[in-house]
Structure 1
Amino acid sequence: TCPVGVATQDPELRKKFTGQPEHVVNYLFMVAEHARQVMAKLGFATIDEMIGRVDLLEPNDAIVHWKAQGLDLSPMLMPAQAPRPGVEVFCTTKQDHGLDESLDNRLIELALPAIEGGEAVSAAMPIRNINRTVGTMLSYELAKSRDESDPLADDTVHFRFHGSAGQSFGAWLAHGVTLELEGDANDYVGKGLSGGKVIVYPDRKSTFVASENVIVGNVALYGATSGEAYFRGRAAERFAVRNSGAQAVVEGVGDHACEYMTGGRVVVLGPTGRNFAAGMSGGIAYVWDVGGGFASRCNLEMVALQKIAEPSERHEVRRMIQRHYDYTGSEVARRVLDTWDFAVQQFVKVMPEDFARVLRERAAKEEAAQLSERGVA
């Protein structure tokens, strides 16, 4: 239901948006004013006074449905104080998220030379699944200290971890930061990736076949805007959903991969689940389709399946796979590279049709501009 470009970073598409931030502010003011009027009619001065007042609720007869006949919904309107006299019905105690114990505090301390002076920093340490959103607070400190036009150089901050990372490992990771994990990670790896680099590969002592096992959980790279990710192993479901600019290599994905993707590049060196590329309006995916059955698992409503024909594009895909091998030691990547001339023919290029049209129009305009300049000259 979302129109193409609604969440884009493409300057050409952003020009088509006619709204203004002030419109949103005004709308919310009007919502607040309407809420104030309703509260005044009910005799309330604050929201907190309203919470728990189920005695003021009543069923709407206009939406009574025959399917609900026989249902007794009265327990849903029982006051919270009935079973537990004196219980609070709204938040009175501030939540403690344990940020003072976050692993990022140590990372920030170690990264001070980079934060304050842009100096290179590296360190290694263990990680556990209780360590969540590792790298996020660090990225915040780096973002505060650096001008957007002068980001850190790649790999300025490089932390190596060993173990099983908690949820949101590398979330919103800033440019110049590399998080390398020997082990595995839970859901939301690289969520909102913002220029950083995430590398995950199995424990070197493990005996299982990496490409046949899940190495990162669900919804990896959700909403990523830029950066790189290399996963030696498979990702679970909803990989790279709403990716708008990150580049990633993975060795297999679950259902709904690249859903609503608007930008970036994804290389899949293995099998995919069903509904691949549903709602994908931008970016490009490349799937190594050894068995030839990928088309039946791809949602073809908005994309077309092609071969990688252009030499420059083949070179770019090969470069991404080479980096995947260099960072993770992937056996799958090595096999592809060793047989590249044959393997490249097995790749399927997943290209959104609207995105392809935009690229063609842009190329035509650039060519026309060049011809015009030559004519003037």
Structure 2
Amino acid sequence: MASVYAPVERQERAPFFQQGLLPAMPVGTPLLLGGDWNCVADNLDLVGGQPGTRQHGFQSGLLPFQQALGLQDAFRCLHPQAKEFTHTATNNASSARIDRWLVSDGLLPSVSAASVTDLILSDHYGVAVTVSPVDAPPRGPGLWSMPSAIISHPAFKTLMTAQIQTFLQANAMTTALSRAARWDQLKVHIQDVARNYCSTFHAERTRQLRMLRVQASKARAAYMAAPDSHHALIALRDTAAALLQHRRQQAATDALRAGVLLHEYGDQSTYYFHHLHTQRQQATVISHLQQQRGSPMADLCTMQGRQQADSIIVNFFSADNPTGMFRQLPTVLPTNHLNQQQQTQQQSAPLLPLNKAAASDIIDVLEACGIHAQQAQWQHTWELASASYLDRQHRVLAARASYTGRRRR
């Protein structure tokens, strides 16, 4: 991925594309290039003005650059006949779609959307492209969490204060309602109040944004129909300024939320490195689930591969599978505190290792220390843990027997 800013001067565009940008591009790598290309392909990318003023440098520079690298205009591929613009000249004589995303042929099937945004940035409108794998699994909304920025809303503070007081008055502590139970019920009530407030607030913000977008769309269509109209250009800029103000309010909310996170996590760089550490832990490889050359046994990008991976993992952590990590292993018992008859009985049959609940703590500690799940290491650790656990149990039983004998005497 790269950001490109082409020269404004016409005579510099073709040498920039052919002699400057083309040699700098990697070979055999999918590309996603976005930026200000300062030229257009045809009149569909031009609103007002003379057709040839913005096309200089495309045929002799940008088009050969695209053909050499196999790049396609994402917006034009999805909208072959759409007339759009992203920039208005300083003299207001014309507007053109000089900002675009160019994607490699191999990435083009993954491009699901490409558009010109309704938000103007400096003197350009933004351009957006959505790239996602074709076989990517759908993602849900996830768990709800209260936006920390609403704690600065006076209306939310007043509402929450009144709701807490009302709840406490209506749920006085009695013999049937303990302090802990009331506290749990209050937390559930606070969550419901916050969720309802956030839903109402978000719905109102969405309604305002939708209304501003409709106004901006109408002003944009009016300007494209009459690019020489000064009134249409003023209306277009007014609607863009209103949208920008709305986004600034949202940005202020996001900044407040970031401030709360900074107060909670401390230095941002510290939180960043903790996040990287968490990512590395999530990417820890279980070598037992890999083939000899290091490639995974299953392709997790397909449904069949995910089912195969589920089966491999279940068998690996199974107690019933003969090669599972929790399979039955013969355990050598300590001879202390055992008579000859008990030793004979214990040696006649292999014992089960620790149960899975008791073993989970050991496994968590080993994984936290970065030990990979190699079969030999797990078996050795498992035997040691089992012997230690059984030794403690035998000590307890011997102490109880000794204490019972003293009481009988």
Max Rg structure:
2
The structure where helix makes up a greater share of residues is: 2
Query: What is the TM-score normalised by the length of structure 1?
Result: 0.20
Q: Which has the higher contact order (CA 8 A, sep 6+)?
A: 2
